[in-house]
Amino acid sequence: MVKYLILFLLLIVTPVLAHDWYPFQCCGGRDCTELRDDEVKEVQGGYLVRDKFFVPTDKAMPSPDEHYHGCWPQPEVIGCFWAPVPNT
């Protein structure tokens, strides 16, 4: 009986990831990552991510940790994007 309880606990207990706040609709955290500041450029009307993906300002979500983050559901498509909230 004890070995079944241990097995059950091992199956339901999962480690907490550093960025486990990524919404499920943004790939459940599997394809999401924190971006280095040098990977994001603020450009007119939005952000240029990794010199490849343009994200309009109104599509960027406020970052909960003041860092840039992005999710890629497919290699050539950026899904969700978070940017630090500008100081006002």
What pTM was computed for the model?
0.71
Number of domains in the chain: 1
Q: Is residue 55 part of a domain?
A: yes
Domain that residue 26 falls in: 18-83
Q: Is residue 88 part of a domain?
A: no
Task: Supply the DSSP string of the chain, one letter for each residue.
Answer: -HHHHHHHHHHH--PPPTTTTS-GGGTTTTTEEEEPGGGEEEETTEEEETTTEEEEGGGPEEPTTSSEEEE-SBTTB---EEEPPPP-
Q: Is residue 22 part of a domain?
A: yes
List per-residue pLDDT tens for the chain, 88 residues long: 544 334 343 344 343 344 568 887 877 656 889 999 999 999 999 999 999 999 999 999 999 999 999 998 877 888 899 999 877 5
Q: Is residue 2 part of a domain?
A: no
Q: Is residue 60 part of a domain?
A: yes
